[in-house]
Structure 1
Amino acid sequence: MKTLTYVSTKNVNELTWPTTVENITLYSSALSVFTDFQNAGPRVIESSTPADELVHLMRKEHVRMKIVVDENNQFIGIISLEDLSEDVFIKQVANGFKRSELMVADLMRSKEVLLALSYTSLKHSDIESLLFSQRNNSLQHLLVIDEETKAIRGLVSSNDVARHLRLDIDVSYSSFEQTYQSAIHGQKESSSNLKVA
């Protein structure tokens, strides 16, 4: 057993803060808005979880999307708060399902219908190119695949992009499409305000 050392805080005034990238612009590396699962583990949920339970869990955790896994912790899809909206539950009940019996597997978007961005492509891109490629995407999250390991490496959230670029949009309902429009519109406004000497 090792003995731990304790130090007085009497003469300590500073705090350690995480390193952040300042002044992120449209021309910054797309990796600056990427959530890498090697650094921050993925938020997962088992497919057998009751859907009603997940709604409360996601709101409590303040997350809008989870990666769905099977009993072996293998990736099988994603589920977002959009997939768990009251309208979705009403449609399922109208189709004969009991709300209390609906599972995550019943409402998720399976991996067979999803497209993800290549990590290599993201690594060699800037934010402007990322937003341009997603300009018609009405969703909030984009999965990123490491093609070498054939694994989900991470994701990009339109909310993170909007926050880093300091865009004036409601991030609780944002999408890549809205973020793209706001970023391009904001860029045009700021360039039109330039004065020539």
Structure 2
Amino acid sequence: MKTLTYVSTKDVNELTWPATTENINLYSSALSVFTDFQTAGPRVIESNTRADELVQLMRKEHVRMKIVVDADNRFVGVISLEDLSEDVFIKQVANGFQRSELMVADLMRAKEVLLALSYTSLKHSDIESLLFSQRNNKLQHLLVIDEDTKMIRGLISSNDVARQLRLDIDVSFSSFAQTYQSAILGQKEQSKKLKVA
């Protein structure tokens, strides 16, 4: 075990700041709210994991969505806490399933029904365009595909967008539609108030 050294802060007056402090706004690059799996690995779960165990794991890890992979680590879908809600479990039990027998594969959204953004188009977009394109999206996460490599390149979380824009909404339950409402329509309301004043 290594010994750590402690130093007094008595004579320290300054903080270290990033070399560039970018003020994120609606006109910032959409890449500024993009989680790139080349730098931050994806959070994955195997499809044969028990669904009730995944709920606890996701809460412990403070994540709301995981990418589902098969035993060979190949992408098969996504699963979110919304897909694992108590109502979903109750419906499955009412349909004759045992709660403890439900697997992630039973409740996930399969890749065949998912849509994702093109990484190329995202690179050339701003946050406002991103939010406008997602204004009716009731989900919290959006996958991004690199069309050249045919791989999931990353994702965008409505919570991350709301945090970066410092929106006054509850990020624990915000969807892209709610983020759009707060960011775009809220800005228009603010603009009207400024014109009146």
Give the TM-score taking structure 2 as reference length.
Answer: 0.90
Deviations 1:25-76 (A, max 9, x none): 1111000000000110000000000000000000000000000000000000
Q: Which residue of 1 aligns with 2:37?
A: 37
Q: Which residue of 2 aligns with 1:95?
A: 95
Q: Which residue of 1 aligns with 2:180?
A: 180
Q: Which residue of 2 aligns with 1:169?
A: 169
Q: Which residue of 2 aligns with 1:46?
A: 46
- Give structure 1 stretches of 5+ with no counterpart: 1-5
Mapping for residues 52-67 of structure 1, pairs under 5 Å? 52-67=52-67
Give the secondary-structure state (helix, strand or coil) at the position aligned to 1:194: helix
Deviations 1:137-174 (A, max 9, x none): 00000000000110000000000011111111111111
Q: 1:105 to 1:17 in 2, by over 3 A?
A: farther
Q: Distance in 1 between matches of 2:123 and 2:168?
A: 26
Mapping for residues 9-158 of structure 1, pairs under 5 Å? 10=7, 13=12, 21-158=21-158
Alpha-carbon RMSD = 2.3
Q: Distance in 2 between matches of 1:155 and 1:108?
A: 17
Q: 1:20 to 1:56 in 2, by over 3 A?
A: farther
Give the TM-score taking structure 1 as reference length.
Answer: 0.90
Q: Distance in 2 between matches of 1:10 and 1:135?
A: 50
Which amino acid is 1:158 matched to? S
Give the secondary-structure state (helix, strand or coil) at the position aligned to 2:120: helix
Which amino acid is 2:85 matched to? S
Q: Compute the displacement of 1:11 (Å).
A: 8.0
Q: Distance in 1 between matches of 2:97 and 2:19?
A: 49
Identical amino acids, percent of aligned pairs = 83
Q: 1:171 to 1:99 in 2, by over 3 A?
A: same
* Cα pair 1:140 1:176 within 8 Å, conserved: yes
